[in-house]
Amino acid sequence: MRVCYYTNWSQYRPNGAKFTPENINPSLCSHIIYAFAKLDGNSLGAYEWNDQSTQWTEGM
């Protein structure tokens, strides 16, 4: 098992430091810890405005 940590704010880094989910090499990570999410009642959701409408949020 190899766990990778992804921060949702890394998409706002300038230039070459910018990192999005598309940059994650799936052959390197068996699990991904996503930071951060929000609780809304009994449901879990993405924290950033643009995290809701992307294909990779399905497993959240």
Residues facing residue 24 across a β-bridge: none
Residue 3 · residue 36 · CB < 8 Å: no
pLDDT in tens, 1-22: 999 998 888 888 999 999 988 8
The answer to whether residue 19 sits within a structural domain is: yes
State the Cα–Cα distance between residues 9 and 51, nearest whole angstrom: 11
Residue 21 · residue 6 · CB < 8 Å: yes
Q: What pLDDT does residue 56 have? A: 54
Q: What pLDDT does residue 50 have? A: 66
Q: What pLDDT does residue 54 have? A: 59
The answer to whether residue 29 sits within a structural domain is: yes
State which residues form the domain around 22.
3-53
Q: Give the residue carrying structure tokens 């995290």.
A: 51
Q: What pLDDT does residue 4 have? A: 92
pLDDT in tens, 17-50: 999 888 989 899 999 888 877 787 888 777 776 6
Residues 6+ apart with CB under 8 A from 24: 4, 6, 32
The structural domain count of the chain equals 1
The answer to whether residue 43 sits within a structural domain is: yes
The answer to whether residue 58 sits within a structural domain is: no
| pTM assigned to the model | 0.60
